[in-house]
Structure 1
Amino acid sequence: MKKFAFAKVAATSSLLLLASACGGGGGESTGDGEVPAELTVWIMGDSQPNIVEYFDEAEGAWQESYPDSGINVEFIAWPDVQTTLTNALAGGDSPDVIEIGNDQGANWASQGALVDITEAVDGWDEAADLDQNALEFAAYDGATYGIPWYSGVRTLYYRSDWLRDLGVEAPTTWDELTDVAEKINKEHDVPGFCAPTDFTNGIASFIWGNGGEIAVQNGDQWEAKLTDPAAKEAIEFYAGLSADDTVSPSSALGANENDGCLNDMANGNLGMYIDGSWARGAWEGVAEDPAVLDNIDTTVLPGADGPAPAFAGGSNLSVWSTTENPEAATELLQLLAGKEWGDKFAETAGFFPAYPELLTQDKYTSDPLKKAGAEQMQSTQFFPATPNWNSADQDQKILPKVVLEIAQGGDVDDVLAKYNEQLQETLNKPVE
C-alpha cells in the first residue's frame, strides 16, 4: 500500500496535507484538458485512517486510467471551512475538487467559487440513478455545481432494553414519544428524550412531520411559513419538550445534540434522542461503560401522526473555479461520486450512498443501527435552496432562537411573528 506523508500547511486554517508519495505531484497542467501530474482534493473533517485508506485505493483506480497522475488530498477541520474557502476564493491555496456540504452549495456557487458542470452531468450515465432531489439541491440558478457524494440522515435512538422492560414499542408519533419519555423518566429517573434547542435539523423534522414548511418559493420570492398553523404547532410542541426537564435535560437548552444529549445517551442518563449514523463512533469515545452502547437501537423519526421526514444531509463534490484542470477535475469527481466509489465512501465514513437503489444492500439493511437510517433515507426533505439559507441558519440561527425563546417562556405568537419576518427578509436579500 502506498504511504502517505502528513504535514502542516501554512494557512489560517488547521489544514492537514495528505501528500501522495507516488503520485508524481508537482507537474504543471497545460490548460488544454490534459490530465496533470497531480489533482488536489479538499475533504472536510479529520484525516481518519479509514478515510486515508479509501483515497489510497481511489488513487489506484484513477491511475488505472492515468498512471502518471496522482491525487493529493487535504483535510480541512470543520470549524475552519468558512475561513479556508473564503481565502481560497480570494486567491489563496485552492483545490481542483472540493467537498461541499449540500446545504452550502448554493452559497459558494453564487459567489463564483464553483464550476458549472451541467453539461458533464447531463452526459453522465450514472447521474440518472442518483437521488434526483439531492441532485436538484446541488443546482443553483438553473445550473448544476456539484454531484451528491453521500447522504446522512438522523434517526431516533433509544434504550431498547428500557423500552422492552416497560413493554412499549419505539415511538412513531408525537403522542407515543411523549408517553414513552414520561415512562422512562418515571422508571429510571432520567430525562426520557433530549430536545436540544440549537438543532435546526431536528426542529425542521418536527415541522415537516406535521405537514408544515420553513419557507416556500413563489416565483423569485421566498415566503416564510413559521407562523402557519402546522409549523406553529410543531415548534410549540418541540419547545414544550425542551422546556420540560422531566422530558429533556436542562443542559439541552441553548445546546446542540452533541453538547446537550450525546454524552448522556452514551452513559445511561437519557432514554432517547435524535442523531445520525455517525453517532456510534462518538459514543465509544465518551462511554464509561461500553456495554450500555449494546442496548441502544434506532428507528425512524416520529411525526405528529406517523414517521417524519428528515433533512437529507451529506456532501456534494464540486470543481473549484480556479482549477487549471477543469476537465480532469470533473472526471475525477465523477469517479469518486460514481456508484462504486460513492458507495465505498459512504460505507467507510458511516453514511449512506446517494443512489437509492444501493440502500437495499445487505450491509445497510442487516445492521440494526443502519437499517433505520436506510429506511429514513426514503423520507427526506431539503432546506430552502438559496444562498441566503446559510445566513438564516448558521449566522442568525433563526429556528434555534425561536425554540429557545419559546422554551424560556416567550409568547409563541410574538416570537414566531418576529422571526418569521426576519427569515423572510433574509431569504429575499439580493444575492450579489
Structure 2
Amino acid sequence: MKRKLIAAIGVAGMLVSVAACGSDDKASSKDPKDRKENLTVWLMGEARTTWPELVKDVNAEFNKKYPNVKVSVQYQQWGDKVKKLDTALGGDKFPDVVELGNTETMQYILNGALGEIDTKKYENSDTWIKGLKDTCSFEGKLYCVPYYASARLGIYNKDMLKAGTGSDVLPQDEAKFLEAMDKVSAELGKKDKRASSLYYPGRYWYAAMSYVAAFGGKIATYDEGAKEWKASLSTPEAQQGLTHFVDLVKKYNKADQTKDEQDHTNVMANEKAAVIYGQAWEAGNVVTGENGNPKLEGKLATAGMPGPNGKALPSFIGGSDLATISKSKNQDLAEDWISIFTNAKSMEVLASKNILPNNEKQLEPLKAKPETAAIANAVPDAWFTPIAPGWAAVEKEESLEKLLLDILKGTSVADATKKADAEINGLINQKA
C-alpha cells in the first residue's frame, strides 16, 4: 500500500534526547503484579478484520504477567493515522505502542518520537527480514520492530491469458512473458483497442524503480566520506532500468500512459487489463473492492513478475513495523507487549492466514505454499527507498513521478535523470 509521508512532527518534546528519559526505571523495577498502568496500543484495521484472535490471545498472555495493567487496543485507518499520531504526540494523550507503515518510520525516528529497541527482548530478531529491519535502523540503532512484510507481484486474468496464448500460466522468463503479452495484445485488440495486455501506468514509480533495481541501479546512495545521500538515477544502470520500464509502458499500455497506479485494480476489474503489477491483496480488490467485479471471482491468479536478465523482478518491500513512543513512561511494558505480538507463535498465526511473517525462518515454508509462493519468494531480494532524512520531501515533491512523465513526453533519459538527480539532491538530506 502506498502510504503518503506527512511533514515531520516539529514538537519540542520529540527531540532525540527525550528517548533517554522516556522510561520509568522505578516502574520497571516493580513486581509485574504490582504494575497498574494503562497501555495504549494503536494497530491498523487489518489486525481487527483479519487476525483479531491474535490480538486477543496476545493481550491475555501479556496480562498473565501484568494482571493489573489495562491494555487498550485502538484501531486506526491508513488515511488519517499519521495526522492523528502527529496531533497526539503534540499533546499528552498518545499511544505507548504504534504500528507504522515502513515508509513512515524514518520521519519519526529523526524527530526522536520513537524509543530505542533492545533486540535481546525479541525472539526472532536474529532472522528479521532485512528489508523491514532496515526501515527501523538509523546510525547503528534500532527504533522499531518488524511486524509483517509484503511485496508486489503479477496479478493476471487467467481467461485473457489463455485466450491469447493457450495457457493460463504466466511465463516466468521475461522474453517468453513478453511474447505472451504480444499475443494477448493481439487477441484483446480484436475486440477492444483500449484494453492492455500488461497495464503499466507511466507514473508508477514503484514499478519503474523495480526495473532500476533489476539492472543494478539505485535511486540514491550514501556517501560515507561526505556523510550525505546522493541521487544516482543518472548512472548507466539506473538509466537502463528506466528505459526498459518506459519501453514496456509505451508498447503495452493502450490507455492513458501518464496516469499513476492508484486505480489499476479498477482497470483490471473493468476487464481492460490482463496483467497488473501490485500487492497480493489487490487481487481481492479487483473482485470485491468498492469498484470490484464479482464476475471475475476465480478468474484471477498471482505469480512472480519476470524481470530482465533471467531473474524475477525485484519488488519494493512493503509492510508494517511496531514502535514504542519515546516520551511514554511505559516503554518497558510496550516492549514486552510487542515482543509477545511479534514472537514465533504470533508470526505462525499470520503465516496461517497467508500474511508474510517478520523473519526469514518462518518465511521459508511460505515460499513453497501455492498461495504465498510468489510473494514470499519476492521478499529476500526486495528493495527499499533510501533511508534518508529528506526522503519524505522527495515523495512530497513527486520527483520520481515527474521524472517518468518527462521521459514519456519525450525528454531523453539522460536529460530527465540529470534533472531529477539535481532536484533529489536538493531534498534528500534535509532534516525537517
Report the TM-score, using the length of structure 2 for normalisation: 0.83
Deviations 1:327-365 (A, max 9, x none): 1111111111222223424655x5311111212336x63
Stretches of structure 2 that go unaligned for 5 or more consecutive residues are 1-23, 190-194
1:197 matches 2:195: no
Moved more, 162-171 or 52-61: 162-171
Cα distance, 1:373 vs structure 2: 0.7
Partner of 1:157: 155
1:280 matches 2:280: no
Superposition pairs of residues 12-91 of structure 1, within 5 angstroms: 32-33=27-28, 35-45=35-45, 48-91=48-91
d(CA) in 1 for partners of 2:257 and 2:345? 40
Contact 1:240 1:407 in 2 (8 A): no
Paired amino acid for 2:128: L
Q: Could you say if the C-alpha distance between residues 92 and 347 of structure 1 is closer, same or farther in structure 2, counting changes exceeding 3 Å?
A: farther
Q: Could you say if the C-alpha distance between residues 275 and 288 of structure 1 is closer, same or farther in structure 2, counting changes exceeding 3 Å?
A: closer
Cα distance, 1:301 vs structure 2: 2.4
Report the TM-score, using the length of structure 1 for normalisation: 0.83
Q: Could you say if the C-alpha distance between residues 36 and 314 of structure 1 is closer, same or farther in structure 2, counting changes exceeding 3 Å?
A: farther
Q: Could you say if the C-alpha distance between residues 412 and 221 of structure 1 is closer, same or farther in structure 2, counting changes exceeding 3 Å?
A: same
1:301 matches 2:305: yes
Partner of 2:100: 100
Q: Secondary structure at the match of 1:310?
A: coil
Cα distance, 1:105 vs structure 2: 1.6
Cα distance, 1:113 vs structure 2: 0.6
Q: Could you say if the C-alpha distance between residues 333 and 399 of structure 1 is closer, same or farther in structure 2, counting changes exceeding 3 Å?
A: same
Q: Sequence identity, in percent?
A: 22
Count residues in correspondence: 393
Q: Secondary structure at the match of 2:336?
A: helix
Partner of 2:418: 417
Contact 1:87 1:93 in 2 (8 A): no
**Equivalent position to 1:365, from 354, 364, 368:** 368
Q: Secondary structure at the match of 2:245?
A: helix
Paired amino acid for 1:307: A
Partner of 1:5: none
Q: Secondary structure at the match of 1:100?
A: strand
Partner of 1:233: 240
d(CA) in 2 for partners of 1:343 and 1:391? 37
Cα distance, 1:149 vs structure 2: 0.4
d(CA) in 2 for partners of 1:334 and 1:59? 12
Partner of 1:290: 294
d(CA) in 1 for partners of 2:65 and 2:222? 44
Superposition pairs of residues 184-333 of structure 1, within 5 angstroms: 184-189=184-189, 190-219=195-224, 220-244=227-251, 247-251=252-256, 253-256=258-261, 258-259=262-263, 261-286=264-289, 290-305=294-309, 306-333=311-338
d(CA) in 1 for partners of 2:148 and 2:368? 17
Contact 2:250 2:257 in 1 (8 A): no
Higher relative contact order (CA 8 A, sep 6+): 2
d(CA) in 1 for partners of 2:392 and 2:173? 30
Deviations 1:93-131 (A, max 9, x none): 3100011122222221110110012xx214544311222
Paired amino acid for 1:72: S
Contact 1:107 1:386 in 2 (8 A): no
Contact 2:399 2:424 in 1 (8 A): yes
Paired amino acid for 1:325: N
Contact 1:239 1:404 in 2 (8 A): no
Q: Could you say if the C-alpha distance between residues 236 and 122 of structure 1 is closer, same or farther in structure 2, counting changes exceeding 3 Å?
A: same
d(CA) in 1 for partners of 2:407 and 2:181? 21
d(CA) in 2 for partners of 1:408 and 1:75? 43
Paired amino acid for 2:158: S
Partner of 2:6: none
1:337 matches 2:342: yes
Paired amino acid for 1:355: N
Contact 1:359 1:365 in 2 (8 A): no
